[in-house]
Chain A
Amino acid sequence: MTALLSVEGISAGYGAITVLRDLTLHVGRNESIGLFGPNGHGKTTLLRTISGLLRASAGRIHFDGADISRQRPATIVNAGLVHSPQANTMFGDMAIAETLELAAFAPRARAGAKQRMEQVLTLFPRLAERRKQLARTLSGGERQMLSIGCALMCDPRLLMLDEPTLGLSPRLKEELAEAVGAIARSGVPLIVVEQDVEFLLALTQRLYMIEHGAVSREIDRNDGLDHGQVMQLYFGQGGEA
């Protein structure tokens, strides 16, 4: 069986600055993967390249067998590859309810939008309380909820979350992990970028460490590594644990 997403030898960057260098990874149909590594080494850039916001200068990206490396973001979203960006501020002058409705914009997301809205509002009751509040007046954590909610509204087949727990309270982190875990179990694989190890380990089967714009290590947790060893590797990046 082919991978759901395969990234083969891509390079990408901003103007003259190259961030990703010949990076390769893949996501199977029934697994979730995690990306970690030091700040500023290209995790976000990788997700942006996959979702079409950045154009790769070399390499190929296939999603469900189709080459998406030259597609527009809108097409990619409509194929079910959804990216919830890091520290997203959303649409400052739009109210919560409006934003969530709009998020079901892609044709594939329209059917069942009502139902998914229910799900999102159950996951984040705060959003239900504040339907009319403008996005720019939300607290940091509330904004994060809205951003993830929007991604869920897109009816993803593969969900990419970039630091989803940024600024969330411990309790909410836990609830989010549960909810996202449920989504993954329902057959939507995840790509998660996270600094919070617990969160990452709770959700993913395989981890890639990204350093200097390339995969520096792959950790398959089914390979018999125990939790402690993974932690060791994870913190190996910077030195102390």
Chain B
Amino acid sequence: MNSIVATLVSGILLGSLYALMASGLSVVWTTLGVFNFAHGALMMIGAYAAWTVSEGMGLGLLPGILAGVATAALCGIVIEYLLIRPFYGTRHMLLVTVMTTLAALIILEKGAQLIWGAKLKQLPRLVTGDVSIFGATISWHEAIIILLAPIVLLLLWRFTAMTNRGRSLRAVGQNQDAAALIGIDVPYAFAIAFGLAAALAGLTGALLGSIRFITPVMGSEPLVKAMIVVIFGGLGSLGATAGAAYVIGLLEAFLILWIGLYWTPFALFLLMIAVLIFRPNGLFGRA
């Protein structure tokens, strides 16, 4: 009983983290049709920027998180401008942007190592202390993440699905010319979409920086997870991404309980292949 509750809680925590990691990736994918391999690196930049302001300059954690979000957003906009924009509409755009975002990943990772060195860093937590939920202990910081994730997702969903500004981001991804001809400023929309996604990455990174360690390569595992979540959910919508994040989080937690940490990735991958064979458009994807 107790272990079921503990597993549930840790599954939901994992799901919340995955949702945060994947939402930005999903925004860029569903709007611009770009698979951003630098997404994890943007998380890392967010974490380092937060660390520099919070610990390096001693200005405190909240200003740090803000700095992390802002820095990542800025990096995102620069990446979009230099590495993505020139390739919109070219023949092999998907592949070429895979490469340019991989290049961005390399530049950010190696650059971070040059700036901050290879040693691990960590941010303090938003709130210290632990909290017990039906007998399962997690830190307050993690509890806050569990609460925060759905809020962020909801706001993001409202924005992209319900507002014209948000829809315009999707429109430019699907048909630039048509978008321009109904009065959408295409370059601006691209910048907004990418900046928004990068800001989300920055926030995620700053939050992760307190429960994991900040290293130049800290983004690679979240990137893989985000990628799995986004594709597994089905590429159609943010809702699908969120759903997949929690499904995978819970699944992972219970698999760990049942078959142990060692075989969990194995089982998870196998399961995903199976799901995609039977639902070729992802778990929640539309046919």
Contact with A along B34-72 (1 / 0, CB 8 A): 000000000000000000000000000000000000000
In the bound complex, do residue B178 and residue A88 qualify as a contact, i.e. CB atoms below 8 Å apart? yes
Shortest Cβ distance from B219 into chain A, in angstroms?
28
**Does residue A93 face the partner (Cβ distance < 8 Å to B)?**
yes
Residue in chain B with minimal CB distance to A154:
B182
**Does residue A235 face the partner (Cβ distance < 8 Å to B)?**
no
From known contacts A74-B183, A77-B183, A105-B183, infer whether A91 and B168 are also in contact, taking CB-CB under 8 Å. no
In the bound complex, do residue B182 and residue A102 qualify as a contact, i.e. CB atoms below 8 Å apart? yes
Chain A residues near B168 (CB-CB < 8 A): 102, 105
Query: How many Å lie between the Cα of A154 and that of B168 in the bound state?
Result: 14
Q: Which of A59-118 contact B (CB under 8 A)?
A: 72-74, 77-78, 82-85, 88-94, 98, 101-106, 109
In the bound complex, do residue B174 and residue A106 qualify as a contact, i.e. CB atoms below 8 Å apart? no
Shortest Cβ distance from A91 into chain B, in angstroms?
4
Query: How many Å lie between the Cα of A72 and that of B187 in the bound state?
Result: 10
Query: How many Å lie between the Cα of A161 and that of B38 in the bound state?
Result: 41
Chain A residues near B182 (CB-CB < 8 A): 77, 102-103, 105-106, 150-151, 153-154
Chain B residues near A202 (CB-CB < 8 A): none
Chain B residues near A134 (CB-CB < 8 A): 286
From known contacts A53-B177, A74-B180, infer whether A102 and B164 are also in contact, taking CB-CB under 8 Å. yes
In the bound complex, do residue A91 and residue B174 qualify as a contact, i.e. CB atoms below 8 Å apart? yes
**Does residue A42 face the partner (Cβ distance < 8 Å to B)?**
no
In the bound complex, do residue A92 and residue B167 qualify as a contact, i.e. CB atoms below 8 Å apart? no
Residue in chain A with minimal CB distance to B181:
A83
- The one of B167, B180, B236, B286 in contact with A102, judged by C-beta atoms closer than 8 angstroms, is B167
Shortest Cβ distance from B185 into chain A, in angstroms?
4
Contact with B along A196-207 (1 / 0, CB 8 A): 000000000000
Contact with A along B263-287 (1 / 0, CB 8 A): 0000000000000000000000010
- Interface size of A as a range: 20 to 34
- Interface size of B as a range: 10 to 19
Query: How many Å lie between the Cα of A74 and that of B177 in the bound state?
Result: 11
Query: How many Å lie between the Cα of A104 and that of B174 in the bound state?
Result: 18
Q: Which of B192-249 contact A (CB under 8 A)?
A: 236
**Does residue A51 face the partner (Cβ distance < 8 Å to B)?**
yes
Contact with B along A142-167 (1 / 0, CB 8 A): 00000100110110000000000000
**Does residue B171 face the partner (Cβ distance < 8 Å to A)?**
yes
Query: How many Å lie between the Cα of A109 and that of B181 in the bound state?
Result: 13
Chain B residues near A92 (CB-CB < 8 A): 174-175
In the bound complex, do residue B174 and residue A93 qualify as a contact, i.e. CB atoms below 8 Å apart? yes
From known contacts A53-B180, A74-B185, infer whether A93 and B175 are also in contact, taking CB-CB under 8 Å. no
In the bound complex, do residue A91 and residue B177 qualify as a contact, i.e. CB atoms below 8 Å apart? no
Residue in chain A with minimal CB distance to B171:
A91
Query: How many Å lie between the Cα of A73 and that of B179 in the bound state?
Result: 9
Chain B residues near A77 (CB-CB < 8 A): 180-183
* Given A94-B171, A105-B184, 12 extra CB contacts under 8 A: A53-B177, A73-B183, A82-B181, A85-B177, A88-B177, A91-B174, A91-B175, A94-B167, A101-B164, A102-B167, A102-B171, A105-B183
Taking Cβ atoms with an 8 Å cutoff, the residues of A that contact B are 51-53, 72-74, 77-78, 82-85, 88-94, 98, 101-106, 109, 134, 147, 150-151, 153-154
The 4 closest A-B CB pairs, nearest first, are A106-B183, A77-B183, A73-B180, A74-B185
A sample of 23 inter-chain contacts (CB < 8 A) reads A51-B180, A53-B177, A74-B183, A74-B184, A77-B183, A85-B178, A85-B181, A88-B175, A89-B178, A91-B171, A91-B175, A91-B178, A92-B174, A92-B175, A94-B167, A102-B167, A102-B168, A105-B182, A105-B183, A147-B178, A150-B178, A153-B182, A154-B182
